[in-house]
């Protein structure tokens, strides 16, 4: 990440700036009636035949219509059909990837899919499927896709780390009334738990991530939202109550309806599909937010 540009890119109704190795800023100028959407997603597993590309395309087209920024927090690729992967299966490879240049095909076909939305991408970060390829094959699929989008389309997209921060900054058109919201993302870890579905992580993360307004995760292919209410002490000595919102993103990979394979054999249940919308809007000269599921 070092040595990358540190200036703003004009795009849509917001600007993007890299603040550090693991933090980018998304800055908006607002006025009365302002509204800006962002699409949060993870675990596309785009190259897997079980990826619901129709649903994903619908959501990406909606993001384009809304001029919404798109985030992908890991596992855009599935990439399990190469050498040295004991999970590989001939039935889990798309026809266009049945080539001697498997990894190159993953990059080129993913670029073809993502190219229509190149202006909307804000950040793509790697997940465990991408880091597994880097470890085994010494190539970074995420970086290669991002470089291709930048070179061919001048996309403003930034590459994230496995975990990192997005700072949303809203500045009134008059030049004052700045409001900031911090989003921490982590692709995820563990199996989620058949009963807790990973919700138990909210209290743990809330302790060591006190600066986050939103904490977003993927990996376990679950969908839930949990709010943690906090008492905060301001500089003036006044106490306030604020909210830390935890958002667990689902997947676009439908494995259950195959009625066979690794997912079914281990007794895993159906998983929710889709992503999430995060909307910031002006209300009473203040910036508010709401989030809702993309289904």
Which domains does the chain carry? 38-289 (3.60.21)
Instruction: Report the alpha-carbon distance of residue 289 to residue 227 in Å, rounded.
Output: 13
Share of the chain above pLDDT 90, in %: 75
pLDDT at 2 over 80: no
Q: How confident is the model at residue 78 (pLDDT cuts 50, 70, 90)?
A: very high
Q: How confident is the model at residue 87 (pLDDT cuts 50, 70, 90)?
A: low
Condensed to tens digits (0 to 9), the pLDDT of residues 238-267 reads 999 999 999 999 999 998 666 666 655 666
Identify the CA nearest to 40 among candidates 278, 281, 220.
Answer: 278
**Element (DSSP H or E) covering residue 60:** helix 53-66
pLDDT at site 153? 79
């Amino acid at each position: 990440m070092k040595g990358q540009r540190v200036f703003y890119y004009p795009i849509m109704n917001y600007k993007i700036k890299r603040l550090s190795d693991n933090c980018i800023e998304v800055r908006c100028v607002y006025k009365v009636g302002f509204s800006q959407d962002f699409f949060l997603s993870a675990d596309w597993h785009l190259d897997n035949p079980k990826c619901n590309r129709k649903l994903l395309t619908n959501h990406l087209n909606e993001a384009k219509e809304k001029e919404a920024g798109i985030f992908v927090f890991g596992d855009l690729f599935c990439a399990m059909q190469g050498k040295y992967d004991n999970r590989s299966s001939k039935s889990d490879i798309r026809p266009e990837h049945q080539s001697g240049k498997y990894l190159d095909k993953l990059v080129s076909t993913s670029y073809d899919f993502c190219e229509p939305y190149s202006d909307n991408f804000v950040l793509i970060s790697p997940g465990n499927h991408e880091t597994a390829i880097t470890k085994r094959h010494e190539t970074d699929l995420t970086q290669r896709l991002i470089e291709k989008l930048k070179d061919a389309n001048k996309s403003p997209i930034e590459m994230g780390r496995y975990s990192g921060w997005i700072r949303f900054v809203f500045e009134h058109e008059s030049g004052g009334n700045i409001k900031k919201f911090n989003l921490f993302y982590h692709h995820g870890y563990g199996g989620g738990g058949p009963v807790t579905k990973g919700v138990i992580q909210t209290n743990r993360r809330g302790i060591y991530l006190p600066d986050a307004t939103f904490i977003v995760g993927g990996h376990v292919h679950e969908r839930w939202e949990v709010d943690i209410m906090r008492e905060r002490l301001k500089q003036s000595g006044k106490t306030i109550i604020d909210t830390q919102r935890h958002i667990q993103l689902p997947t676009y990979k439908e494995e259950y309806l195959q009625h066979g394979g690794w997912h079914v054999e281990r007794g895993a249940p159906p998983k929710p599909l889709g992503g999430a919308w995060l909307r910031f809007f002006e209300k009473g000269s203040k910036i508010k937010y709401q989030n809702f599921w993309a289904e």
